[in-house]
Structure 1
Amino acid sequence: MQITHLGHSCLLVEVAGRRVLLDPGTFSSFEGVEGLDAVLITHQHFDHLDPDRVPVLLERNPHAVVHADPESVRLLADKDIPARPTVDGEPFSFGDLTVTPVGAQHAVITEYVPRIANVGLVLRAPGEPSLFHPGDALDAEVPAVDLLAVPVSAPWCAVKETVEFVRRIAPTAVVPIHDGLLTDPGRGVYLHHITEFGRDGGVPVRDLRGAGAVTV
């Protein structure tokens, strides 16, 4: 598996001969991405889905199919972008790559902000590491995974909740995402807490920001 962190929560994952792009939002740089089999979207917030740039992305990737939470499917339909809804517990495949949707709702931001749909995604392929991208929720239950794409900082979570999420999922290692709101020093503080307390004795952090395509 190769993973490229394209900013914030956007990951390009190359696995089992397939190329999939997750959460192409406004804080991410995905303009040059080509050869995609799929674009996967966890939810409709602008930092995970930029509906103004997705059409150009799909023009560059005419064979890519789009899978998204049901609310994002409706939003994309308004822009004449066909997308297939992801539903908790209903997997779909691209060759040997299986994607299993998990969860249904975005985490609570405040009581004044209506909750929206959020469907996390677990990627698995024989002989490859497994990866869980939760979008913006920390409540999904998933079988053991090798890599957890962990949201580092967000209006809807505190670091104590992030740490407990990592401890509960118990991945082999974590990949930091959702970091577009942080300064570099502030990001380092969050990563320190996740590394030191995400598991007794510490959890390995694969920090892919700015590293290009990394084999994991």
Structure 2
Amino acid sequence: MKIKHIAHSCFYIEADGKRIVTDPFDSSLGFSMPEIYADIVTSSHGHFDHNYIEGIKGNPESVTTSGDHNVKGVDIVGVQVFHDKEKGAIRGINNVYVFKGLEGINVCHMGDLGHILSFDDLQAIGPVDVLMIPVGGYFTIEPDEAVYVTKQINPKIVIPMHYSSEETKKHKEYNLPIKPVDEFLNLIGDAQFMDELVISKGVLPEKMQVVVLKEQV
């Protein structure tokens, strides 16, 4: 399995012969999506920086709802949570997506999670090997809450997303008031920095590993 962090909450995943893109963004974010071809694209919610499905090449099939999906042979579970701490009253709903058994690995993308997970949320999400979680705060959980949720889920690998970075800040039009990844890292511990993650079930770490992937913008 290969995972690249395009930027923000958008990732490119290659596994089982399928190409998957999560939460593509439009140019209102301050920079444009690179040209990417995919078979499947997921959108956690309807905001401009997470739902630019039409920007993905290759005529992909999209998943935008909660529930159980089988798309081109890939099992995807959507778990409805909220974009805020007021049960969606401020920013609406958010779907967490779990890609089940991709080359034997469960990959979970949290979208714009806005709260600590309940017992029912955790039961619906199930076991996770690779977790992509927002850590920048303001629109999502704060860095300390992201550490808490990470410990709730207890993945093998955690990949932070939705934070301000050197790659995004070099674009003058990018101005989201979110924190850098360092605030999360200072709380959770050591991290490895990579251009992309290449992983297989047989080499998943025994102890949780934090991986910061370079954004591709």
* 1:20 counterpart letter in structure 2: I
Partner of 1:195: 189
How far is the alpha carbon of 1:211 from its aligned partner? 7.3
Contact 2:3 2:14 in 1 (8 A): yes
Distance (whole Å) between structure 2 residues aligned to residue 10 and residue 33 of structure 1: 11
Distance (whole Å) between structure 2 residues aligned to residue 16 and residue 195 of structure 1: 32
Within a 5 Å distance, the mapping from 1:24-103 to structure 2 comes to: 24-26=24-26, 27=29, 29-34=32-37, 36-50=38-52, 54-57=53-56, 60-62=57-59, 64-68=60-64, 86-88=65-67, 90-95=68-73, 97-103=74-80
Aligned-residue identity in percent: 25
Could you tell me the TM-score, scaled by structure 2's length? 0.71
Contact 1:154 1:181 in 2 (8 A): no
Contact 1:100 1:122 in 2 (8 A): yes
Could you tell me the TM-score, scaled by structure 1's length? 0.72
Distance (whole Å) between structure 2 residues aligned to residue 16 and residue 24 of structure 1: 21
1:144 counterpart SS class: coil
Give aligned pairs, total: 180
**Going by fraction, where is strand more abundant, 1 or 2?**
2
Within a 5 Å distance, the mapping from 1:1-216 to structure 2 comes to: 1-26=1-26, 27=29, 29-34=32-37, 36-50=38-52, 54-57=53-56, 60-62=57-59, 64-68=60-64, 86-88=65-67, 90-95=68-73, 97-108=74-85, 114-125=90-101, 127-137=103-113, 138-139=116-117, 140-141=121-122, 142-155=125-138, 156-180=140-164, 186-195=180-189, 203-210=208-215
Distance 1:33 1:164, change over 3 A: same
User: Mind listing any 5+ residue stretches in structure 1 that lack a counterpart?
Assistant: 69-85, 197-201
Contact 1:7 1:180 in 2 (8 A): no
- Deviation sequence 1:177-205 (CA, Å, 0-9, x none): 11137879942232221236xxxxx8411
How far is the alpha carbon of 1:102 from its aligned partner? 1.1
The two structures, once aligned, show a CA RMSD in angstroms of 2.9
Contact 1:101 1:122 in 2 (8 A): yes
- Deviation sequence 1:14-38 (CA, Å, 0-9, x none): 111111110001447533112x111
2:189 counterpart SS class: helix
- Deviation sequence 1:113-137 (CA, Å, 0-9, x none): 6331211100123643211001112
Contact 2:143 2:183 in 1 (8 A): no
Distance (whole Å) between structure 2 residues aligned to residue 134 and residue 45 of structure 1: 15
* 1:190 counterpart letter in structure 2: F
